[in-house]
Amino acid sequence: MRASILVAALPALALAEEQVPLVDKIKGFWSKATAAVSSAVPAVPSPLDAGAAKAAEQIQHELTLDTWRDVLTVDPTASAPTTQDWLVYITGGNTTCYGLCGNTTKAWNTSLPLLAARPNPPKFAVVDCDKEAILCNSWSVGPPSLYYFQIPKPLADQSAPAPTVRFIPLNRTSTTVDTFKKLVLDGEYEKRAPYEGAWHPFSGWLQEYHLAIPVAWVLWGFSKMPSWLPMILISFMSRSFM
């Protein structure tokens, strides 16, 4: 009897799971509707925003699934032991950020020239999770956020400790240039504990056993699955149990 009650409750549990991101989805739909309405009115781009975005393109590297390992490295001319810092901005569009990353992207673009002007600045990179969904899933990250990498150069015998990585989520509405200033220039990123779990991009066990990409594809497949399909599958399973 208890088993049948549990099985009967599975569709309800699945429906409850679908409601978790409802607020974000509503915000995303509203953002898309607002964009559709405003697109009917010719918009005058801000020269400051356009200039900041152009400057950001010159400073940062765009990471892809095929190139990120080649980009996130240490200057080959530097002498070991040394460490190269990389600050990676993780963004997205309508699919992965529900169209709500505009504020953080604007703050990031504006702050980049300030961050790059400090002595010994980190190198900068960006990942667009709409374009690079598999890469983001293989790191188990979502926008908007930052990854701060500290990558040591291997010694002569090619030995080197694992890179230190810190994951920093960003607030979609309250992130400003001052947010990036405090994190990078004031060193607040150091207050974040380094991540050492299975999803570590360099030394996590998913990477070591070459499972990160297969798992990323599975996660991507689930994200593309229609919301009604899990309920149908659960319904078939409950009938087979009965």
Tokens of 90: 């993780």
Residue 167 has pLDDT above 90, yes or no: yes
pLDDT grade, residue 52 (50/70/90)? low
Q: Is residue 94 a part of any domain in this protein?
A: yes
Q: Is residue 144 a part of any domain in this protein?
A: yes
* 3-state SS, residue 61: strand
Residue 242 has pLDDT above 60, yes or no: no
Q: Is residue 24 a part of any domain in this protein?
A: yes
Q: Is residue 151 a part of any domain in this protein?
A: yes
Q: Is residue 231 a part of any domain in this protein?
A: yes
Q: What percent of the chain has pLDDT over 90?
A: 56
Q: In terms of residue numbers, what domain contains 9?
A: 2-32+45-241
Q: Is residue 18 a part of any domain in this protein?
A: yes
Nearest-CA neighbor of 192 among 205, 203, 183?
183
Tell me the C-alpha distance between 76 and 59, whole Å.
19
Residue 234 has pLDDT above 90, yes or no: no
Tokens of 154: 């291997």
Mean pLDDT calculated for residue range 13-40: 46
pLDDT in tens, 102-157: 999 999 999 999 999 988 899 999 999 999 999 999 999 999 999 999 999 876 66
Q: Is residue 128 a part of any domain in this protein?
A: yes
Domain count within the chain = 1
The predicted structure's pLDDT at residue 57? 60
Strand order in the sheet with 60-62: 60-62, 123-128, 83-91, 145-152, 164-169
Across the chain, mean pLDDT equals 79
Mean pLDDT calculated for residue range 162-172: 95
Residue 44 has pLDDT above 50, yes or no: no
Residues 6+ apart with CB under 8 A from 208: none
* Buried residues in 13-34 as b, exposed as e (16+ CB within 10 A): ebeeeeeeeeeeeebbeebeee
Tell me the C-alpha distance between 160 and 184, whole Å.
25
DSSP category for residue 50: H
| CATH number (domain holding residue 199) | 3.40.30.10
Higher pLDDT, 41 or 156: 156
The predicted structure's pLDDT at residue 10? 40
pLDDT grade, residue 19 (50/70/90)? very low
Tell me the C-alpha distance between 149 and 126, whole Å.
13
pLDDT in tens, 213-224: 999 999 888 877
* pTM of the complete model beyond 0.85: no
Residue 168 has pLDDT above 90, yes or no: yes
Q: Is residue 132 a part of any domain in this protein?
A: yes
pLDDT in tens, 57-86: 668 999 999 999 999 998 877 777 788 999
Mean pLDDT calculated for residue range 202-217: 94
Mean pLDDT calculated for residue range 25-39: 47
